[in-house]
Amino acid sequence: MVSTAGAGGGGRRLPLRRCICYESSAMARRVRAVLLVLIGALFAASIPWYRSGGAESAQWWGLPDWVLVALLCYIGVALLNCLAWLLTDFDGGDESGEGP
């Protein structure tokens, strides 16, 4: 939740999820499905299966190239996962904004 008031409180609270607007929940489900497929593809790309055994690896910033590719894939997975969770609609529950 995002408060419209300053540190003193007293303002109304807006759901953070309203920042991302989609016309329908079906559209959000499709986008989320595409994001999950991309996450799977990045996980598959992070595994150095394409390298032959015993091959010399190039160094980038002091890391073997396959390590750098894996790290970049994991960062991409984290970002896409954040977007997927922002598009997730939670059914039910307490919508009063109060804690547990």
72-89 pLDDT per residue, tens: 999 999 999 988 888 777
pLDDT digits over 30-82, tens only?
888 888 899 999 998 888 887 777 777 778 788 888 888 899 999 999 999 98
Give the three-class secondary structure for 36: helix
Q: Quick check: pTM over 0.75?
A: no
- 4-25 b/e (C-beta count within 10 Å ≥ 16 → b): eeeeeeeeeeeeebeeeeeeee
In the chain, what are the helix, strand and coil shares in percent, each to the nearest 5?
Answer: 50, 10, 45
